[in-house]
């Protein structure tokens, strides 16, 4: 009985960790994407300012 409980706890921990890692990776990618697009927008606006 205790072994079964341990297995359940371990699998629950594993799935939680997996879910956390997945969401963390998505947040990280989103953050990088935002930084990149922000840099592109800044670069374009700087380019437009230089043209004027």
Please give the pLDDT value at position 1. 55
Please give the pLDDT value at position 51. 66
Please give the pLDDT value at position 5. 83
**Per-domain boundaries in the chain:** 1-52
pLDDT digits (tens), the chain, 52 positions: 567 788 888 999 999 999 999 999 999 999 999 888 887 777 777 777 676 5
Please give the pLDDT value at position 30. 92
DSSP string, 4-40: HHHHHHHHHHHHHHHHHHHHHHHHHHHHHHHHHHHHH
């Amino acid at each position: 009985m205790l072994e079964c409980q341990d297995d359940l706890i371990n699998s629950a921990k594993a799935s939680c960790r997996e879910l956390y890692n997945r969401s963390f990776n998505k947040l990280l990618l989103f953050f990088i994407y935002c930084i990149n697009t922000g840099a592109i927008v800044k670069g374009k606006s700087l380019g437009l300012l230089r043209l004027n």
